[in-house]
Chain A
Amino acid sequence: MHSAVVHLHGSLVHLVSAAAEETVSKDPGPIVPELKELYWSIGSFVVFALLMRFWLFPKLKKGMDARYEGIRSAHESADAERSSARAEVADYEAQVAAIKAEAAREVEAARSTLEAERQAKLTEVNAKLSAQRAAAAAEAQAEREASRDQIHSAVADVAGLAGELATGRRPSADVVTKVVSEVMAR
């Protein structure tokens, strides 16, 4: 039997080979395989590997593949839904843009119509105002002319009377009228 002895001698530790003292072992070497271990190992592994190959692995893998396929199809479905939603959003945005453009066009047309109507009304009102202003001016002119004639006549009377009082005789009406007209024209 091969062995080594460690002596703990005080603090001194030393290893002593006892091989020389031992007799030669009858056991096989430590690396020699034992048949019983070999048979049981072969049996265990072969059974395990065969079950794994034909039953355990296919069953597990089938479940894994089915789940992965489910996940993959769910991903694809989600992608399709996302694409569809994006298309709908794009369509909605296009419709909104078209409606906005239409609304802008109609607002612009309304604004144009309103402006035209405003201009027409303004022109009409301005024309009315001009006519009324002209009529008023004519009326004022007529009034002014009438007043002027009355003043002229009154001044001529006063001037004729004043001349008569100063000279004793009444000045000619034509002369008085001429003089008054010249004075008022200044």
Chain B
Amino acid sequence: MIAESFSFPEINSILRWQDLFVSFNKIALIAVAAGVIGIAVFLLAGRKDASKAPKGVRNLAETSVEFIENGIVMQTMGKDGLGWTPFLLSLFVFIYLCNVPGIIPLIQMPATARMAIPMFLALLVWVIYNGVGLKHQGIKYLTNTIWPPGVPVALKPLVGIIEFISNIIVRPFSLTVRLFANMLAGHILLVTFALLTQSLITAETMQLMLKPMAILPFGMLVFLTAFEVLVAFLQAYIFTILTAVYIGGAAHPEH
């Protein structure tokens, strides 16, 4: 009787990475690469002849600009929000480039599956939309936030608590957790099916049917990898569009 086993790795071993050099690990590398790639793409795009029909890297950059302008800003903030396009574009590109390494062979780690990036970006968005609210509405922003117009006086204490928790506390938390948890779950799923495939292929067993059954977790691995392509885009889009909604809502409370 043969008993071959594998140990599912300890969770930190698939999330925490050793330093490549002092205070610089794989997550930091991906974050820096995301920034550098984003800068390089838009730098190269800006050097191409703008008078001709865009192609290649310029086409990619212009498509992403139009996607942010038409697909996010105009839909959520209107024409007044076009000034926010550079920030939202940076946000979308940075998150997407941090998500995508989760499915790139040899890297296979989304930087957003660690808490640092989602938390920082969510806090930044929180500071920005509250700042925008105070700038546009003054001190009334605080009362408008916790007491939406038309709330009966009797309900104000209850609604005030709910809205305060919802708008001030839960929003950054939900922004963080949505991005972090989705990318972490995807990463763990990929690790699980990859290890299961490997363990079935290398299993020392008398049961001849066991090895061919590795095709099942391998199929799931391929499917989930393709699915993660969609998730990487979708999570960047959701984070960006929610940011636009929050900023637009703070700037124009009547919306």
User: A residues engaging B (CB < 8 A)?
Assistant: 1-11, 18, 25, 27-28, 30-34, 36-45, 47-49, 51-53, 56-64, 66-67, 70
Contact = CB atoms under 8 A, between A and B. Distances in A.
A179 B4 CA distance: 172
A16 to B, nearest CB: 9
Interface residues of B, number: 65
9 contacts: A3-B9, A6-B199, A7-B5, A10-B2, A18-B7, A37-B31, A40-B27, A60-B62, A63-B46
Contact of A40 (B1, B24, B42, B124): B24
Contacts of A60: 42, 45-46, 50, 58, 61-62, 65
Contacts of A25: 10, 12
Q: Report whether over half of chain A's contact residues are helix, strand or loop; otherwise say mixed.
A: helix
A1 to B, nearest CB: 5
- Of the listed residues A3, A57, A62, the one surrounded by the most CB atoms of chain B closer than 10 A to its CB is A57
A49 B16 CA distance: 27
Q: Report whether over half of chain B's contact residues are helix, strand or loop; otherwise say mixed.
A: helix
Interface of B: 1-12, 15-16, 19, 23-25, 27-28, 31-32, 34-36, 38-39, 42-43, 45-46, 50-51, 58, 61-62, 65, 85-87, 89-91, 93-94, 111, 114-117, 119-121, 124, 180, 184, 196, 199-200, 203, 205-207, 209-210
B240 to A, nearest CB: 13
B115 A10 contact: no
B124 to A, nearest CB: 8
A10 B209 CA distance: 10
B180 A53 contact: no
Contact of B86 (A33, A37, A53, A66): A53
- Of the listed residues A2, A7, A52, the one surrounded by the most CB atoms of chain B closer than 10 A to its CB is A52
A3 B199 contact: no
A84 B1 CA distance: 94
A53 B94 CA distance: 14
Contacts of B121: 45
Contacts of B124: 45
